[in-house]
Amino acid sequence: MTESLTVNLGERSYSISIGSDLRGVIQAQVADLVKAGRKIAVLTDRTIAARQAEALLAMFGAAPMLVVAAGEETKSVAELGRVLEFLAAQGLDRTGVLVTVGGGVIGDLGGFAAASYLRGIEFIQVPTTLLAMVDSSVGGKTGINLTAGKNLAGAFHQPRGVFIDTQFLATLAPREFAAGAAEIIKYGLLGDAALLAQLERAPLTATSANLPAVIRRCCELKARIVEADERELAADGGRALLNLGHTFGHAIEQVAGYGTYLHGEAVAIGLGAAARLAQKLGSLSAADVARVDAVVAAHALPIRLRAPLALPALLAVMARDKKVRAGLPRFVVLQKLGVAVTRSEGITPAQVEACFREVGAVDSL
């Protein structure tokens, strides 16, 4: 059974299809595009190409396919150029469509390439990881990392459609599944206390009967936020709320070296740091912080750094975060578990430093 929901953005609206074994649905979509005279190209990574060779053939037949290395390092200027040259070599014109099949890295990289090639062609997201299904494939944020920081180059470019096939999760490594759970916990913390309580009662696994419903709920939450603030321009709240834990997490990812922590693992530690910041600001109790740590740990995610990182390096990266406004980092602060706000004023450097220390950072190595 396939369910769908719509991201309502006027002429940029699109559907998110959720189900088990959507190969036939995707194949039909591709066939319709080809019949209309539109060229198709596919971007995926080596892991998907090896594990899902049969599915890729069923969905895309002989469509040209670029296979890149898996991992955060692929979100680079060099790989962006490689994708653009691939699209040009295949002769895609402005009616061409790029299909991204993979996790958040592939979706971000391919989406940015689609936004840039010929000043913008359509693309379709086929997420294959839990993290991409519940978060990165929806909303149109695309981009790559620079030496200076994560996701510092990119574009808002909404997909033509998103096809979430939960069968892909059957071959997902447990560590990757856990990384996706971090984003689900984030949604519970920032806007759905009932979802958070559900995760506390019964941590998600790849075989959880309620997994498709949880994926849909996260997509619904994100769709409504994106509809209200597509380009993250709201003075308060809005799409910036989706960055809960990410201001800390992005710094951890970069300073540790991309690949040391999966994105979701760094976000998990960041959620703990964000909870501690809320406690220092007086909106969460010590018991609330303990609840955050407990639900994170119950999903096989880290609550502290595996090895110490230097505090000055973390703070330097945080200062270059793309969410900085007027020189001040913009934090997502929990008012209570299930409700979050954005805030930049009234947060001291000492409070931020203390939060980093409490998750394992040190003053110097």
Whole-number Å distance between alpha carbons of 335 and 279: 9
As a whole number, mean pLDDT of residues 148-173 equals 95
What letter represents residue 355's amino acid?
A: C
- Asked if pLDDT for residue 265 goes beyond 70, the answer is yes
**Tokens coding 285:** 């109790």
Give the Å distances, CA to CA, from 89 to 41, 100, 251, 331. 11, 17, 37, 43
Least Cα distance to 181 among 270, 295, 273 occurs for 295
232 in Cβ contact with 240 (< 8 Å): yes
| Numbers of helices and strands, H then E, in the chain | 14, 11
pLDDT of residue 192: 97
CB 113 within 8 A of CB 43: yes
What are the pLDDT digits (tens) for 67-122? 999 999 999 999 999 999 999 999 999 999 999 999 999 999 999 999 999 999 99
Residue ranges and CATH numbers for the domains of the chain are: 3-171 (3.40.50.1970), 175-358 (1.20.1090.10)
Enter the tokens of residue 239. Answer: 């799409």
Confidence (pLDDT) at 365 = 83
38 token code pair: 């539109």
Residues that are catalytic: 119, 141, 183, 222, 232, 239, 243, 246, 250, 263
Share of the chain above pLDDT 90, in %: 94
To which H or E segment does residue 146 belong?
strand 141-146
Rounded to an integer, what distance in angstroms lies between the CA atom of residue 72 and that of residue 357? 25
- The values of phi and psi at residue 109, to 5°, are -65, -50
162-187 residue pLDDT tens: 999 999 999 999 999 999 999 999 99
Question: Do residues 208 and 185 lie in contact, with contact meaning Cβ atoms separated by under 8 Å?
Answer: no
Stretch 202-212: mean pLDDT: 95
> DSSP readout, 144-164?
EEETTEEEEEEEE---SEEEE
